[in-house]
Structure 1
Amino acid sequence: MGIGAGAGVAAVGGLALSAQASADGTSASSSSGSDSLGSLAFDPDAYTELTTTVTDTEGTEHSVTYHFWKAITYVAKPVDEKYQSLNVSVPVKIDGTAVDASDAPILFANSVGGYMPSSVADATGVGGPAGGPMGGGGAPGGPSAPTASPSPSASNATGDTNATGGALNTNQLLALAAGYVVVEPGARGRTLKNSAGEYYGVAPAAIVDLKAAVRYVRANKGRIPGDTDRIVSAGTSAGGALSSLLGASGDSPLYAPYLKEIGAADASEAIFATGAWCPITDLEHADGAYEWNWGANATSAGAAVDQSVSKELRAQFAEYQAALKLKGLGGFGTLNARNYDAYLVKQYLEPSATAHLAALSDAARATYLAAHPFITWKNGRASFSWADFLTHVGARKKNVPAFDAFDLSSGENNEFGKGTTLARHFTAYGQKNDTTGLTAKRVDGDIPELLRLMNPMYHLVDKPNAGRSRHWWIRLGTKDSDTSLTVSANIAAAAHGLGDDVNHLYYWDQGHGANTDPGDFIQWIAKVTGRKARRK
């Protein structure tokens, strides 16, 4: 499906993309910064003009000429400029037609994966590799800079793959071709370590950095192209978690001291709309949610996980879900551990399978149904049971516990590291069952605050935040067992319960990092922002 990009601008909405960038010229002149912003003043003239080719969903190539600002440090007192910098891309010509992006929406696309470092310093244009592990170019679990150290198992953490970068690059290129401004921020991540052996990218560094980057953009209203009141964030996996957190926690005073410490601009960090793909979040409750969802499924090696541990964690989920008092979409009623399976099947899974099957040819649909007899196809609608769906998905991605590992081996344990301590427990259950020889019976005293800073559910349920995003685009693959299917559904239910606009669906038979409807996302941005590219 193509997207309407406004009068005189080609419709673009693509899956297959090519980035054939060529430098057409550079404007090196520099305008003086404003007195109020000092070093944080955006220089409108310090860009390089590039041209790239974007292929839309219909297979049509579009030539996009854009101005590219590279690696702008977005804080006055950076801890590490390589990661605390952003790129800006502004389209000026699409298929030979000049466009004015001065009031276009701004896509704020982070490329964080696995809560690892993400840098834009080496990017050569929009949608380029983001220089950090699993952020579009690095190997999972590997270091992204000389200061990075080996991390706990990335595969046991978020399961992020380089598909994270691919999914977002699609969004970024399509947004540019639609006439939107694209901002790509870097951020510190959990493996960064200084010469003293201290981890300086652990929680809450990544969300603080992204908030600071939003503040930079908003502080430069009138200097940076685009409508700074129409910022739409995007992120996948851990990046999806951070995008959700940006949307939920806008202008929360909890982050003020952290932002002040790094010299963030004095501006709002609220965003207008949130795009989140397979968010790995609500970490303190993620182990219970995972076992409720995937506890009966064997691992890829064919072995069942420890069912006594799984049962205890499922009980924790039941208690947590009941306390949320969330009502399901579609008038479903209050969600709990007893009815959540029926809710997922009715609200998301059967509609997802129906959409997938309806899009197939008659012959292809018959072949698929013959290979998957658990699906009943009647009157153009798919139906099946939750138990059969779990069997269809098959092996679970992670062991038990999936996030707060007893041996402190997960990436999330590293995310809550501190000082020279590589990894810490962040749940009472993980601390109680520690196998590394810890003597403390309780989690460290700063953990509760860090969990509030890192969890969008706190800002949507515990303390509903007035500065939150009011528009939510949430996506997840039905075969994504990197986290529970309830995690994104709870975010959607919480936002919907506050009266926000929620567009949430699951991709049938897709795994972690899937993004099968990027053209629809670009259309959605145009709809919710009311902004489209303008022809000059």
Structure 2
Amino acid sequence: MKHRAVKRRSVVLGIGAGAGAVAVGGITLNAQASTTASTAAASTSAGSTPDSLVFDPDAYTELTATLTDADGADHEVTYHFWKALTYVAKPVDEKYQSLNVNVPVKIDGKKVDASRAPILFANSVGGYMPSSVADATGVGGGGMTGMPTGGASGSPAPTASSSGGTGTGEVQSGGNAMVNGGEMVSLPKLALVAGYVVVEPGARGRTLKNSAGEWYGTAPAAIVDLKAAVRYVRANKGRIPGDTARIVSCGVSAGGALSALLGASGDSPLYDTHLKEIGAADASDAIFASGDWCPITDLEHADGAYEWNWGSNELSTGKQVDQTVSKQLRAQFAEYQAGLKLRGRDGFGPLTARNYDDYLLKQYLQPSATTYLKSLSDSARTDYLAANPFLTWDGEQATFTWAGFLAHVGARKKTVPAFDAFDLSAGENNEFGAGTTEARHFTAYSLKHDTSGTTAKRLAADIPEQLRLMNPMHFLVGKANPQRARHWWIRLGTKDSDTSLTVSANLAAALAGLGDDVDHRYYWDQGHGANTDPGDFIAWIAKVCGATRK
């Protein structure tokens, strides 16, 4: 990406306003907002917002970059860039509690008015580790960091569920970039070249430790920070370009989990104390839509779900995990799944541990394989079928058994338990650390079987509340949150054994049961962090935002 930076001191909102339109990558954005309307909104939006949280529309750098759209075409994009704006009045660590704003003003020399464009809110969290935009030099420059600010960590090494992946797709720099056929995909760049406003927030994460030895980025710091960042954007309606009522979040892995949580928990009072402590703006933290890739979520039930899915698969060493532990955890999943009382999509009926394999096959896996096979040339399809005899192809549809699918995926990524490790070595154990305690158990089962030497006899008293604050399912099952997002894009690779395939399927089933708009699909033969249809996501944003815009 080539940059040409020029300092500007002119009013951003309303530049180029008029009845024109810009079409990029098949998406047409109309320019209808006026300077008068924007200025009037700005004059009334501050309310009780502290001066430190008032967005300065003039304090940008103008950059020009050559960006590639979703169809592979290059465009010269001139945009205004606001760097490292602290989004809370009482930051714990400004390096992480800041955001960047990117607003397109010209695409291929034609003026763009993005004052009412959708806002892509792209977090770059990976592994529940801290992410920062402080060193970014332009759009898509944020990323996760692993080392604490207080010196050497000694923190548990990030687990595969937390920080990386395998297979065809891998997480790179959290949600900002994902692999697509070996090429990097940057949703912020795709959104900018499509004419959207892009906000990239940083957030505290689990590996941060201060000089007193206190871990200050563990749960629920990341979601609290992202909520505060949304509040900053919404408090600056009329100042910050873009439609603040059309914020669409996105993230990958742990970032995908946080994006889902952001969508599910909008305006929940459960976070109020935490938000007040850091001086968050007095505004809504609800978002309009949520894009979630391979979300590592529902952590307190993830060990059981993982064993239900991958329990019979061997590790890459060729050895099986402890089958006694695996079976006990599978039994926990069965109990949990029954308690959810979810119904499968498209009239499938109640989802249980006994029929979930059939549901995944019919609803997601076989359709995914079918789509993939139809995309191949005749010769490539013949070769693929010959190499994968578990799969039957009748010319129109792919079918196979659950056992055949598991054998096709092969080695499982993790040992048992996958998330709440007996020896406290998982990244998720660190995520639930507190004070000077680096890592803690968050399930009674793993605490009972602890091998780390902890003397605790029961889970810490705050763990249930921390789990509630970190799990979107708590805001969707039972009494659903009325301020949740209503539009959802959820994706997962079929070879992603960083978590169970049931995790995103449960999320989608819960949302669909509430009547929300849910686009949930699995990428055939793809691994953790894959994104093979980024252009469709960019078009989906235009569709859902335009369909409901008044």
How far the C-alpha of 1:35 sits from its partner, in A, is: 7.1
**Residue 81 (structure 1) aligned to one of 81, 94, 102:** 94
> CA contact under 8 A between 1:112 and 1:235: conserved in structure 2?
yes
Alignment partners' CA distance in 2, 1:29 and 1:519? 31
Q: 1:13 maps to what in 2?
A: none
Classify the secondary structure of the residue corresponding to 2:103: strand
**Residue 177 (structure 2) aligned to one of 166, 180, 202:** 166
**Residue 149 (structure 1) aligned to one of 126, 150, 153:** 153
For 2:48, give the aligned amino acid.
S
Q: 1:21 maps to what in 2?
A: 3
Classify the secondary structure of the residue corresponding to 1:218: helix
In structure 2, relative to structure 1, the CA distance for the partners of 1:35 and 1:497 (3 Å cut) is: closer
How far the C-alpha of 1:27 sits from its partner, in A, is: 3.4
Q: 1:97 maps to what in 2?
A: 110
Cα distance per residue 1:145-195 (max 9 Å; x no partner): 455724212135424254334229621111101110000000000010011
**Residue 139 (structure 2) aligned to one of 126, 135, 149:** 126
Q: Within 5 A, what are the aligned runs for 1:395-474?
A: 395-474=411-490
How far the C-alpha of 1:24 sits from its partner, in A, is: 3.5
Q: Within 5 A, what are the aligned runs for 1:236-275?
A: 236-275=252-291
For 2:302, give the aligned amino acid.
A
**Residue 500 (structure 1) aligned to one of 516, 532, 539:** 516
Question: Normalized against structure 2, the TM-score is what?
Answer: 0.89
Alignment partners' CA distance in 2, 1:461 and 1:269? 20
Alignment partners' CA distance in 1, 2:359 and 2:236? 44
In structure 2, relative to structure 1, the CA distance for the partners of 1:372 and 1:182 (3 Å cut) is: same
Q: 2:296 maps to what in 1?
A: 280
Alignment partners' CA distance in 2, 1:303 and 1:156? 18
Unaligned runs of 5+ in 1: 1-18, 134-141
Alignment partners' CA distance in 2, 1:476 and 1:211? 24
How far the C-alpha of 1:55 sits from its partner, in A, is: 1.8
Q: 1:5 maps to what in 2?
A: none
In structure 2, relative to structure 1, the CA distance for the partners of 1:148 and 1:263 (3 Å cut) is: farther
In structure 2, relative to structure 1, the CA distance for the partners of 1:159 and 1:42 (3 Å cut) is: closer
Q: 2:329 maps to what in 1?
A: 313
Cα distance per residue 1:191-210 (max 9 Å; x no partner): 10011000000000000000
Q: Structure 1 residue 388 and structure 2 residue 404: aligned?
A: yes
> CA contact under 8 A between 2:70 and 2:534: conserved in structure 1?
no
Classify the secondary structure of the residue corresponding to 1:87: strand
Alignment partners' CA distance in 2, 1:463 and 1:190? 30
Q: 1:342 maps to what in 2?
A: 358
How far the C-alpha of 1:380 sits from its partner, in A, is: 1.6
> CA contact under 8 A between 1:150 and 1:191: conserved in structure 2?
no
For 1:67, give the aligned amino acid.
H
For 2:2, give the aligned amino acid.
Q
> CA contact under 8 A between 1:147 and 1:192: conserved in structure 2?
no
> CA contact under 8 A between 2:130 and 2:205: conserved in structure 1?
yes
Q: Structure 1 residue 480 and structure 2 residue 485: aligned?
A: no
Cα distance per residue 1:118-142 (max 9 Å; x no partner): 0000000001142x33xxxxxxxx4
In structure 2, relative to structure 1, the CA distance for the partners of 1:147 and 1:468 (3 Å cut) is: farther
In structure 2, relative to structure 1, the CA distance for the partners of 1:363 and 1:244 (3 Å cut) is: same
Alignment partners' CA distance in 2, 1:184 and 1:375? 42
In structure 2, relative to structure 1, the CA distance for the partners of 1:84 and 1:208 (3 Å cut) is: same
Q: Structure 1 residue 299 and structure 2 residue 310: aligned?
A: no
For 1:472, give the aligned amino acid.
W
Alignment partners' CA distance in 1, 2:380 and 2:417? 39
Alignment partners' CA distance in 2, 1:229 and 1:429? 42
Cα distance per residue 1:454-504 (max 9 Å; x no partner): 000000004310110000000000000000000000000000001100000
Q: Structure 1 residue 364 and structure 2 residue 380: aligned?
A: yes
Alignment partners' CA distance in 2, 1:73 and 1:433? 43
Q: 459-468 or 118-127, which moves further after superposition?
A: 459-468
Alignment partners' CA distance in 1, 2:272 and 2:126? 25
> CA contact under 8 A between 2:99 and 2:200: conserved in structure 1?
yes
Q: Structure 1 residue 223 and structure 2 residue 239: aligned?
A: yes
Classify the secondary structure of the residue corresponding to 1:530: helix
In structure 2, relative to structure 1, the CA distance for the partners of 1:499 and 1:147 (3 Å cut) is: farther
How far the C-alpha of 1:51 sits from its partner, in A, is: 1.1
> CA contact under 8 A between 1:29 and 1:46: conserved in structure 2?
no
> CA contact under 8 A between 2:142 and 2:202: conserved in structure 1?
no
Alignment partners' CA distance in 1, 2:147 and 2:246? 35
Classify the secondary structure of the residue corresponding to 2:121: strand
Question: Normalized against structure 1, the TM-score is what?
Answer: 0.91
Classify the secondary structure of the residue corresponding to 1:65: strand
> CA contact under 8 A between 2:87 and 2:232: conserved in structure 1?
yes
Q: Structure 1 residue 62 and structure 2 residue 75: aligned?
A: yes
Q: Structure 1 residue 72 and structure 2 residue 88: aligned?
A: no
Task: Name the % identity.
Answer: 73
Classify the secondary structure of the residue corresponding to 2:250: strand
For 2:164, give the aligned amino acid.
D
Cα distance per residue 1:2-47 (max 9 Å; x no partner): xxxxxxxxxxxxxxxxx22221444399999957321100000000
Q: Within 5 A, what are the aligned runs for 1:517-532?
A: 517-530=533-546
Cα distance per residue 1:197-236 (max 9 Å; x no partner): 0000000000000000000000000000000000000000
Q: 379-388 or 284-293, which moves further after superposition?
A: 379-388
> CA contact under 8 A between 2:214 and 2:434: conserved in structure 1?
yes
Unaligned runs of 5+ in 2: 13-41, 166-170, 179-183
Alignment partners' CA distance in 1, 2:76 and 2:149? 34
Q: Structure 1 residue 47 and structure 2 residue 63: aligned?
A: no
Alignment partners' CA distance in 2, 1:169 and 1:211? 25
In structure 2, relative to structure 1, the CA distance for the partners of 1:244 and 1:260 (3 Å cut) is: same
Q: 1:516 maps to what in 2?
A: 532
How far the C-alpha of 1:322 sits from its partner, in A, is: 0.3
Alignment partners' CA distance in 2, 1:267 and 1:188? 21
> CA contact under 8 A between 1:119 and 1:186: conserved in structure 2?
yes
> CA contact under 8 A between 1:104 and 1:532: conserved in structure 2?
no
